[in-house]
Amino acid sequence: MSDTIFSKIIAKEIPAEIIYEDDISLAFKDINPQAPVHFLVIPKKAIATINDIAEDDKALVGHLYVVAAKLATEMGFAQQGYRAVMNCNEFGGQTVYHIHLHVLAGKPMGWPPYTDKLKIE
Ligand code: 5GP
């Protein structure tokens, strides 16, 4: 699969505010934060979208949530609450095709997430 900007962050070819790293994952602050706290947890393995997650990736994807919760606890917002979300393809709002868990915190989140007057038929 083709390289994305996140491959370059993993390779330390471009800078990012990295807040956690282990052998299989990386977490760093989002460059365009949408909440007082907004970071991304990504696998080092390049997986383009949720649709490309294979059976063998189940533990890896679960690990992203474990890292998110660990960081939420360490950063002090786990009990208050937060959103952990992965966007998929165009309608999901995905812009970088290397899966990433958005972790947003520090203010109450709205629901539903879309902002237009879309009516569900
Ligand atoms: P998506 O829209 O694919 O769900 O989320 C991609 C996220 O990556 C966006 O929130 C965007 O701000 C963030 N992003 C894109 N390029 C960079 C970058 O070069 N560095 C960092 N730290 N975040 C980025």
Residues 6+ apart with CB under 8 A from 30: 38, 39, 40, 102
Pocket of ligand 1 (CB under 6 A): 5, 16, 28-32, 87, 93-96
Ligand 1 atom closest to the CA of 93, numbered from 1:
2
Instruction: List, in sequence order, every beta strand (DSSP E) within 1-121.
Output: 18-21, 25-29, 37-43, 82-85, 101-105
Q: How many contiguous H segments (helices) and E segments (strands) does the chain have?
A: 3, 5
Determine the pLDDT at residue 2: 62
Which amino acid appears at position 88 of this protein?
Answer: C
Determine the pLDDT at residue 118: 64
Ligand 1 centroid, distance to 121 Cα (angstroms): 32
pTM to 2 decimal places: 0.95
The side-by-side arrangement of strands in the sheet containing 101-105 is 18-21, 25-29, 37-43, 101-105, 82-85
pLDDT tens-place string over residues 71-117: 999 999 999 999 999 999 999 999 999 999 999 999 999 888 776 66
Which amino acid appears at position 50 of this protein?
Answer: I
C-alpha dist (Å) from residue 119 to 33, 41, 73, 78, 115? 28, 32, 37, 33, 11
Q: Among the options 38, 63, 98, 100, which is catalytic?
A: 100
Is residue 112 reached through a cis peptide bond, with omega within 30 degrees of 0 on the bond before it? Answer: yes
| Annotated catalytic residue 38 | no
pLDDT tens-place string over residues 9-56: 999 999 999 999 999 999 999 999 999 999 999 999 999 999 999 999
